[in-house]
Amino acid sequence: MLSSIKTMFLILAATFTFGFTYFCLKSDIFQELYLAKFNSKLQHRQSIFYRTNPDCHPAEAIKCKNELFRLMNKLRKRVSLDQDENLPKCPEIPPDLGPLDIKFAYNMSLLKIISQNPNLQPGGHSRPKYCTALQKIAIIIPFRNRESHLRTWLYYMHPFLQQQQADYGVYVVEQTEDTLFNRAKLMNVGYSVAIKDYNYTCFIFTDVDIIPMDGRNLFRCSDNPRHMANSVDKFNFKLPYNDIFGGIVAFTKEQFIKVNGFSNVFWGWGGEDDELFQRVVAMGMKVERPDQTIARSKMISHKRDPGNESTGKSFHLIKKAHERLHKDGLNSLIYTIISITSHKLYTKITVDIGNGEDASSTEGILNLFNL
Ligand code: UD2
Ligand code: MN
């Protein structure tokens, strides 16, 4: 009798321990704790790296940067992105897509967004469960001081991308210094980091404040670079001018390399998008755009951010876009990664991209590129 009570007790205890362990492993809290530990390890590695490589700071850092990447990626790769390659291909057009109700009134908490997206992997990655996606997409967002916009973006865009059966990762690229914002250079940094993270085939560069209003606006790359913010409420759902190329653009890896990425010398608001358009044309490509009804999008209304004033120099720069193309872009990109951290909803890249001193005057910029 005593021994059967003992056995029952043991079975109960074992079931409880097993159940509890399973629950912990699955739960958000555990995953968050795991990530926090993982991130602190990452930062620790970085600080050791900088201590033991005192010369490794800004400008001449290309060699060191690669070494640092190698170290950090070794750790980050532990968060597995392996996929079962035997799954069937996903359909060209995912099912059940249509108009979406987008309102900016919510005060979204990160925890709520996390709980609504249980299938996300650390770093804001996701891919369809039952099929192999047609493209592997990195979403790159330039960022500084727009926390509430980012929350709104994450709230709407994770479900949007998952509905589209996308295999994707979200990269938020934050400029650390208080100096003039450089959206284009941040995009180049996002591309350079993401390409080392996973075998992405498509790069979508998007503002943090634009949300598509229809699931049929497929976040995909095509035979030519795509402009996907061609029907924004702010512009009455029309193109304000023909060559506009701002807001959201999509490039395959090959297309982005062909144009040498964005220019790095556009500090402050404006012009960098038009310059990229010129690069696309100069390299013999066309710009594609989705149907304007399907591409309807909402932009969160906002004032110009402090630190993103227009310098009035972009006009001169755009004029010389063709000449600068091969010397200014991915192949001349200089930056220092401060940290790369895997949040549940996105990968955050904090970066020092300099302060544009080399480009503090139009003459300075033109001299820099011998123009
Ligand atoms: C337009 C373009 C945008 C860009 C910009 C000129 C459209 C729909 N949008 O948007 O793509 O070409 O003009 O540079 O055509 N940001 C921060 N913090 C800052 C400043 C900017 O996070 O302090 C980021 C953020 O992702 C933002 C983006 O940069 O959405 C563009 O800046 P903006 O929203 O101030 O520019 P906007 O709305 O005039
Ligand atoms: Mn905006």
pLDDT tens-digit map of 285-331: 999 999 999 999 999 999 999 999 999 999 999 999 999 999 999 99
The pLDDT confidence band at residue 32, using thresholds 50, 70 and 90, is low
What's the mean per-residue pLDDT of the chain? 86
Pocket test for ligand 1, best of 183, 272, 296 (most atoms within 8 A of CB): 183
The best mutation among 104, 207, 213, 300 to test binding of ligand 1, ranked by most ligand atoms within 8 Å of the C-beta, falls on 207
- Find how far residue 288's CA is from the centre of its chain: 21
Query: Which domains occur in the chain, in start order?
Result: 98-368 (3.90.550.10)
Answer whether residue 258 shows pLDDT above 50. Answer: yes
pLDDT of 368 reads 38
pLDDT in tens, 174-190: 999 899 999 999 999 99
Nearest ligand for residue 153 CA? 1
- pLDDT exceeds cutoff 70 at 245: yes
**Which atom of ligand 1 is nearest the CA belonging to 268?**
14
Confidence of residue 11 (pLDDT cuts 50, 70, 90): confident
Binned at pLDDT 50, 70 and 90, residue 128 comes out as very high
**Residues 263-288 pLDDT 10s:** 999 999 999 999 999 999 999 999 99
When mean pLDDT is compared across 7-16, 22-31, 116-125, 154-163, the lowest value belongs to 22-31
* Residue located nearest, by CA, to atom 13 of ligand 1: 270
Q: How far is the CA of 197 from the centre of ligand 1 (A)?
A: 26
Q: What would the mean pLDDT of 1-25 be, rounded to a whole number?
A: 73
Check residues 184 and 84 and name the one with the higher pLDDT: 184
Please tell me the predicted confidence (pLDDT) of residue 86: 81
For the chain, what percent of residues have pLDDT higher than 70?
77
Ligand 2 centroid – CA 300 distance (Å): 7
What average pLDDT does the segment 231-253 reach?
98
Please tell me the number of the ligand nearest to residue 270's CA: 1
Catalytic site positions: 207, 209, 269, 272-273, 299, 302, 304
Label residue 360 by pLDDT band (50, 70, 90).
very low
Q: Using the predicted structure, report yes or no on whether residue 100 has a pLDDT greater than 80.
A: yes
* Residue positions counted in the chain: 371
Query: Binning pLDDT at 50, 70 and 90, where does residue 359 land?
Result: very low
Instruction: Please report the pLDDT score of residue 120 as a whole number.
Output: 95
Q: Whose CA is nearest to atom 35 of ligand 1?
A: 304
Mean of the pLDDT values across residues 199-215? 98
Nearest-atom number in ligand 1 for the CA of 248 is 11
Residue 26 predicted with pLDDT over 60: no
| Minimal-distance CA residue to ligand 1 atom 12 | 246
Ligand 1 pocket at CB < 6 A: 141-146, 181, 183, 207-210, 229, 232, 244, 246-247, 269-270, 272-273, 304-305, 307-308
> What does the buried/exposed string (b/e) look like for 155-175 if buried means 16 or more CB atoms within 10 Å of the residue's CB?
bbbbebbbebbbbbbbbbbbb
Where does the pLDDT of residue 364 fall: very low under 50, low under 70, confident under 90, or very high at 90 and above?
A: very low
Q: From ligand 1's centre to the CA of 316, what distance in Å?
A: 20
Supply the residue whose CA is at minimum distance from atom 27 of ligand 1. Answer: 207
Pairs from 337-342 (Cβ < 8 Å, separation ≥ 24): 337/65, 337/68, 337/69, 337/72, 337/193, 338/176, 339/42, 339/43, 339/46, 340/42, 340/72, 340/76, 340/193, 341/39, 341/42, 341/43, 342/35, 342/38, 342/39, 342/76, 342/79, 342/122, 342/123
Band the pLDDT of 209: cuts 50, 70, 90: very high
| Ligand in closest contact with the CA of 241 | 1
Residue having the nearest C-alpha atom to atom 10 of ligand 1: 247
Q: CA–CA separation, 155 vs 24, rounded Å? A: 25
Q: How far is the CA of 149 from the centre of ligand 2 (A)?
A: 10
Better pLDDT: 232 or 78: 232
Band of the pLDDT at 365, cuts 50, 70, 90? very low
CA 280 – ligand 2 centroid, Å: 23
Query: pLDDT of 39-83, one tens digit each?
Result: 676 667 666 766 666 655 544 444 555 556 555 555 555 444 556
Task: Select from 30, 27, 38 the least CA-distant residue to 342.
Answer: 38
CA of 173 to the centre of ligand 2 (A): 16
**216, 231 Cβ separation under 8 angstroms:** no
Find the range with the poorest average confidence among 27-36, 128-137, 210-219: 27-36
245 Cα nearest atom in ligand 1: 15
Nearest listed ligand to the Cα of residue 233:
1
